[in-house]
């Protein structure tokens, strides 16, 4: 069963193309994490929020990444983080064309 890690936090930018440029090395490094499958990057310059939806192979790899990521965000001065791990209902996700 795959697991989703949902993360969002307040951030004053960068957003859009500038964010993509500044965080491209970080994005590449995420690909190397144990059990990582994919990430959707989320952002809102209107509400000064960013984050992502991550897919991991197991609950354990999602939890391991969560712990590391919270530490990394704290190092950036980001401490008020909303993060949750969810199991995926594969049967319903398949019906709605989700890729797991």
Q: What is the pLDDT of residue 100?
A: 79
Backbone φ and ψ for 17, nearest 5 degrees, come out as: -60, -35
9/28 Cα distance (integer angstroms): 21
List of domains in the chain: 3-95 (3.30.70.100)
- What's the DSSP call for residue 21? H
50/27 Cα distance (integer angstroms): 14
What is the reported pTM? 0.90
Q: What is the pLDDT of residue 63?
A: 97
Residue spans of alpha helices (H) in 16-78: 16-22, 24-30, 59-75
88/38 Cα distance (integer angstroms): 14
Q: What is the pLDDT of residue 65?
A: 97
Q: What is the pLDDT of residue 1?
A: 86
Q: What is the residue-level pLDDT of the chain in tens, covering all 100 positions?
A: 899 999 999 999 999 999 999 999 999 999 999 999 999 999 999 999 999 999 999 999 999 999 999 999 999 899 899 999 999 999 999 999 988 7
């Amino acid at each position: 069963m795959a697991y989703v890690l949902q993360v969002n936090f307040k951030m004053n930018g960068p957003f859009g193309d500038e964010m993509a440029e500044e965080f491209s090395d970080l994005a590449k490094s995420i690909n190397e994490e144990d059990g990582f499958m994919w990430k959707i990057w989320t952002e809102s310059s209107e509400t000064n929020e960013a984050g992502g939806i991550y897919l991991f192979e197991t609950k354990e790899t999602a939890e391991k990444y969560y712990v590391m990521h919270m530490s990394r965000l704290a190092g950036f001065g980001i401490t008020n983080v909303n993060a949750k791990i969810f199991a995926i209902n594969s049967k319903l996700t398949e019906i709605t064309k989700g890729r797991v």
